[in-house]
Each structure stands twice: as structure tokens, then as C-alpha cells.
């Protein structure tokens, strides 16, 4: 077919079209005209290409239009942001959970991206304090985007994600530590500060130990509700199994629930959980026992006895450790005794857990073998020090012999020189 003048544009036009298609496919990006304008706009309308590149939705191929509607292929603002094209504009806060849920509650849809991703977040959310209040019209509560961020939403496994376990407390604190923001709700705002002092914070945020809890571990994330006083102990016991079991079998369980006191929290606090020391138990003013027990009652006596047991064993271990170190530094062989001392330390660690049974006889029977081991090791240390003395004696003997020789030489010399 001859190429006439009127059809002359077909070939180059077709080529150009192919080129564009190829470019679009090759770069893997569907055209997103929204960013062309909005990357140059100031806040709150601005979303830079760089920011959006971190967003997991963008990485999976979704565009602005996936949530906001409209036509992302058109460069004409009127066409792009037309109601006909389904443009929603800024999403109303009350609508956000619903919007996210259109995909995230759809198992079939989500399966294409990550089959193991949960799809119950929306239904969970509706049971939470945040969800319930939102349904009543309170727009101050958290919605999806408050915690997960928006436009640069990262997967929770990303260390920079606002919902990565290490960062969760900071995210919750944005509202829950703001006294002014929370004023009308009449709940404390000291939790974040307290958590910052706790041993859980130290483990999770400072040491990076992901087995330690943050806000959402105990309160839930989407179905966030504080556990009621009756169920707080259940939360703690998911990790602290032994202590919970012992406590449940102890007289304190009944006593606490009838007094309306939450287990665990009463002695250990809920947010500011500090590393427990032996000072927590006993009969002096620093101990928690004296908050309820007074001089003369059975509990007071028991507390005193338990404290004494722990302190005794800790002291015995310390004493053995000191003498063994001194012997070792003098060059004595004490490795077997040092190893045995480890067993005594095990006993002490276990006894500190058994304290939660509040059963004096039980603790005494556990501590006894520990004391025996510590005493044995102390003896080993003493023996090593005795060996050290033996060396001194040996030295003394040789020095006497040497002195004898010197005297003998002196006399001999005098003799042959006179």
C-alpha cells in the first residue's frame, strides 16, 4: 500500500504510541498525574514523589485514585478531579476505616498481595474504644491513618514504620501523652512516661528484644481496649506463666479479687514496671507487702521470712563468689567451685519466682539446697586460700635454707681466708 500524504502520520504516530506504551510498561508505573501537581503544592495538599515512594500501596502499584478516586491519567485538573471520574477529594475522618476496609477486609483481594495478611482489622476496630467513639461522632479518636500514617505508609516490619513494635509507644503517645488533647477524656496521660522507665521499654526499644511488650501487646492494636482489672493478670500471664500460676494458687488471688485489686499490677505497676529487686518484698517501708500487711499479722511475718531467705542465699552466694575470686586472682584453681556456684544462682533465680506463691515453707525448701551449694563453694574457696598459704610456707622454708647456705658460705670464706 502506498503511503499517501494523509496517512503519513500513521506510521510515526503509531511508533510514538508504541514507544509511550513501552515506556509505561518498562518503567512499571501507571501514569499518576496527581503527583505531577501535588508534588509541588505546599502542605496539606503536598505529597512529594519521594514521600510516596516509601508507601507500600504505591510500591504494590496502587495510585492516588485507588483511594481518592478520579482519573490519574488525565493532566487536566478538572477532568482528573471530576465527580464523574469518582473523585472523592479529602476523605472525611469518619469514613477512613470504611475506606481502608474496602480492600483490607476483602480476603480475596488481599490474597493477591499477601495471603497471610489478616483481614479482620476493621471488625476489630469497631469493638475498640476508638471505633466505638468514632461511631458516636468523636473524630478526635485514632483512625487508621493516625497510627499507620498515610501516603508514606510502611509495612510494620519496616524499622521506620510508625507501627513497628519498637515505635508503637511513640505513635500512641502522640495523643495519649498529650494532656491538653486528652483533657476531656479524663484518663491519665502518664503512661508513656512511665513506660519509658520500665524494664519492657529497656528490652524492646533500647536492646531491640522483640519479645518484650509495648502498648499494643497488652492493649491490642486494632481492637484497642484497656484490660479490665480482673483480666490484667491474664495479659501478664501470657508471658510470665510461672508467676501467674503460682499467684493463682496463692491466698493473694482470692484476697485481691475480693478487695477489687488487680493481680500483678498492684505490686508491679502496669506501665512503669521496674526491674524487681529483693527490696520489693519484706517488711520495711520500701517493700510492697507493707501496703497491706502490718506488724503482727500472718502476712507480715511471712513476708519477713521470705525476704530473709532470699537475702541469706544472696549473701552466701556473694561471700562464696568473693573468696573464689580472690583465690583465682592468686592463681588458684577454682573452676569447679565457680561452676557449682552457678547452680546456687539458679536456685536464687527460681526462688524469686516462687515468691509469688507466698508460701514460706515452699521457699525454704527451695532455698536449702542453694545454701548448701554456696556453703560448699565457700569451703572450696577457703581451701584454695589455704593452698595459697601453703605456698607462703614453702617459700619461707626455702628462704631459711637459702639463709643457711649464705651463712655457711660466709663462715667457709672466713675460714679459708684467715
Partner 1 sequence: MATGDEGMISPADHIDPVPRRQFVELVLGSGVLATVVAFVYPVLRYLVPPKELDLGSDAVVAGRVGELKPNSGKVFRFGNRPGLLIRTAGGDYRAMSATCTHLSCTVQYRDDMQQVWCACHNGHYDLNGRNIAGPPPRPLELYEVQVRGEEIFVRRRREA
Partner 2 sequence: MGLLRGLRSWLDERFGWDALIAPLRKKTVPLHRFSYWYFLGGITLFLFIIQVVTGILLLLYYRPGASEAFESVQYIMTRVQFGWLIRSIHSWSANLMIFTAFAHMFSVLFFKAYRKPRELTWVSGVILLFLVMGFGFSGYLLPWNTLAFFATKVGTEITGQVPIVGRPMMIFLRGGEEVTGATLTRFFGFHVAVLPGLTTLLILVHLLLVQRLGISVPPKLEAEWKASPAQRREMKFFPNFMLRELMAWYVALGVLGALAAIFPWNLGIKADPFVSAPAGIKPEWYFLFMFQTLKLIPPKVWFIDGEVIGVVVFGLIALLWLLLPFLGRNHPSRVQRWITGIGIFALAYMAGMTVYGHFAQ
Which of 197, 410 has the CB closer to partner 2? 410
Q: From CA 409, how far away is CA 414, in angstroms rounded?
A: 8
Q: From CA 211, how far away is CA 204, in angstroms rounded?
A: 7
| Grid cell locating 148 | 499507620
Among 4, 27, 112, 418, binds partner 1 (CB under 8 A): 418
Which of 193, 399 has the CB closer to partner 2? 399
Q: Does 329 bind partner 1 (CB under 8 A)?
A: no
Which of 138, 328 has the CB closer to partner 2? 328
Binders of partner 1: how many residues, by CB under 8 A? 35
Residue 388 burial class via C-beta count within 10 angstroms: exposed 0-12, middle 13-18, buried 19 and up: middle
Among 75, 346, 372, 379, binds partner 1 (CB under 8 A): 346
Which residues in this chain contact partner 2 in the complex, by CB under 8 A? 329-333, 335, 391-392, 394-395, 398-399, 402-403, 405-406, 409-410, 412-413, 416-417
Which of 46, 331 has the CB closer to partner 2? 331
Among 103, 150, 175, 239, binds partner 1 (CB under 8 A): 239
Residue 417 C-beta: closest distance to partner 1, Å = 6
Among 31, 54, 93, 240, binds partner 1 (CB under 8 A): 240
Q: Are 328 and 334 contacting, i.e. CB atoms less than 8 angstroms apart?
A: yes
Which of 13, 331 has the CB closer to partner 2? 331
- Hey, what's the torsion of the CAs at 250, 251, 257, 260, to 10 degrees? -120
Residue 265 C-beta: closest distance to partner 2, Å = 43
Among 75, 209, 318, 372, binds partner 1 (CB under 8 A): 209
Q: Name the residue among 242, 245, 198, 190 with its Cα closest to residue 217.
A: 198
Among 74, 127, 338, 359, binds partner 1 (CB under 8 A): 338
Q: From CA 232, how far away is CA 217, in angstroms rounded?
A: 12
Residue 187 binds which entry of partner 1, partner 2, none, CB below 5-8 Å type-dependent: none
Tally of helices (H runs) and strands (E runs) in the chain: 22, 0
CB-based contacts of 338, cutoff 8 Å, min separation 6: 324, 328, 377
Which of 75, 333 has the CB closer to partner 2? 333
CB atoms within 10 A of CB 160: 11
Residue 356 C-beta: closest distance to partner 1, Å = 12
Q: Does 415 bind partner 1 (CB under 8 A)?
A: yes
Q: From CA 259, how far away is CA 256, in angstroms rounded?
A: 5
| Grid cell locating 144 | 487508621
Which of 22, 390 has the CB closer to partner 2? 390
Which of 80, 204 has the CB closer to partner 1? 204
Residue 397 binds which entry of partner 2, partner 1, none, CB below 5-8 Å type-dependent: partner 1
Residue 17 burial class via C-beta count within 10 angstroms: exposed 0-12, middle 13-18, buried 19 and up: exposed
Q: Does 390 bind partner 1 (CB under 8 A)?
A: no
Q: Are 351 and 367 contacting, i.e. CB atoms less than 8 angstroms apart?
A: yes
Residue 330 C-beta: closest distance to partner 2, Å = 7
Which of 239, 261 has the CB closer to partner 1? 239
| Grid cell locating 111 | 490474597
Which residue do the cell numbers 527451695 mark? 366
- Return the biggest CA–CA distance within the chain: 144
Which of 202, 328 has the CB closer to partner 2? 328
Residue 353 C-beta: closest distance to partner 1, Å = 6
Residue 104 C-beta: closest distance to partner 2, Å = 47
Q: Does 402 bind partner 1 (CB under 8 A)?
A: yes
Q: Name the residue among 312, 294, 126 with its Cα closest to residue 220.
A: 126
Q: Does 407 bind partner 1 (CB under 8 A)?
A: yes
CB atoms within 10 A of CB 27: 8
Q: From CA 254, how far away is CA 242, in angstroms rounded?
A: 18
Binding-site ranges for partner 1 (CB under 8 A): 203, 207, 209, 211, 239-242, 335-336, 338-339, 342-343, 345-346, 349-350, 353, 397-398, 400-402, 404-409, 411-412, 415, 417-418
Amino acid at each position: 500500500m502506498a503511503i499517501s500524504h494523509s496517512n503519513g502520520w500513521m506510521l510515526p504516530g503509531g511508533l510514538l504510541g508504541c514507544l509511550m506504551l513501552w515506556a509505561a510498561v518498562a518503567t512499571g508505573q501507571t501514569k499518576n498525574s496527581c503527583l505531577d501537581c501535588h508534588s509541588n503544592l505546599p502542605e496539606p495538599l503536598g505529597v512529594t514523589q519521594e514521600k510516596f515512594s516509601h508507601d507500600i500501596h504505591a510500591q504494590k502499584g496502587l495510585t492516588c485514585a485507588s483511594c481518592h478516586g478520579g482519573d490519574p491519567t488525565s493532566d487536566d485538573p478538572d477532568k482528573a478531579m471530576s465527580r464523574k471520574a469518582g473523585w472523592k477529594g479529602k476523605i472525611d475522618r469518619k469514613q477512613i476505616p470504611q475506606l481502608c476496609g474496602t480492600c483490607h477486609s476483602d480476603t480475596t483481594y488481599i490474597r493477591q498481595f499477601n495471603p497471610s495478611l489478616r483481614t479482620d482489622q476493621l471488625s476489630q476496630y469497631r469493638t475498640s474504644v476508638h471505633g466505638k467513639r468514632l461511631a458516636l461522632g468523636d473524630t478526635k479518636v485514632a483512625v487508621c491513618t493516625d497510627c499507620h500514617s498515610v501516603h508514606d505508609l510502611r509495612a510494620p516490619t519496616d524499622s521506620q514504620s510508625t507501627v513497628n513494635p519498637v515505635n508503637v509507644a511513640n505513635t500512641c503517645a502522640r495523643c495519649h501523652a498529650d494532656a491538653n488533647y486528652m483533657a476531656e477524656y479524663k484518663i491519665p496521660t502518664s503512661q508513656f512516661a512511665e513506660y519509658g522507665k520500665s524494664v519492657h521499654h529497656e528490652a524492646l526499644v533500647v536492646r531491640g528484644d522483640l519479645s518484650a511488650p509495648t502498648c499494643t501487646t497488652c492493649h491490642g492494636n486494632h481492637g484497642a481496649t484497656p484490660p479490665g482489672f480482673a483480666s490484667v493478670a491474664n495479659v501478664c500471664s501470657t508471658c510470665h506463666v510461672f508467676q501467674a500460676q503460682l499467684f493463682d494458687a496463692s491466698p493473694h488471688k482470692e484476697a485481691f479479687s475480693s478487695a477489687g485489686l488487680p493481680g500483678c499490677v498492684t505490686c508491679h505497676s502496669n506501665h512503669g514496671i521496674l526491674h524487681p529487686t529483693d527490696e520489693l518484698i519484706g517488711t520495711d517501708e520500701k517493700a510492697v507487702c507493707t501496703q497491706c500487711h502490718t506488724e503482727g499479722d500472718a502476712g507480715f511475718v511471712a513476708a519477713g521470712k521470705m525476704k530473709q531467705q532470699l537475702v541469706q542465699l544472696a549473701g552466701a552466694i556473694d561471700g562464696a563468689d568473693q573468696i573464689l575470686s580472690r583465690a583465682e586472682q592468686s592463681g588458684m584453681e577454682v573452676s569447679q567451685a565457680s561452676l557449682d556456684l552457678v547452680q546456687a544462682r539458679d536456685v536464687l533465680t527460681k526462688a524469686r519466682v516462687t515468691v509469688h506463691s507466698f508460701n514460706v515453707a515452699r521457699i525454704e525448701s527451695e532455698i536449702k539446697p542453694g545454701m548448701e551449694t554456696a556453703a560448699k563453694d565457700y569451703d572450696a574457696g577457703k581451701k584454695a586460700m589455704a593452698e595459697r598459704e601453703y605456698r607462703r610456707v614453702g617459700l619461707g622454708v626455702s628462704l631459711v635454707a637459702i639463709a643457711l647456705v649464705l651463712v655457711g658460705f660466709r663462715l667457709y670464706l672466713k675460714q679459708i681466708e684467715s
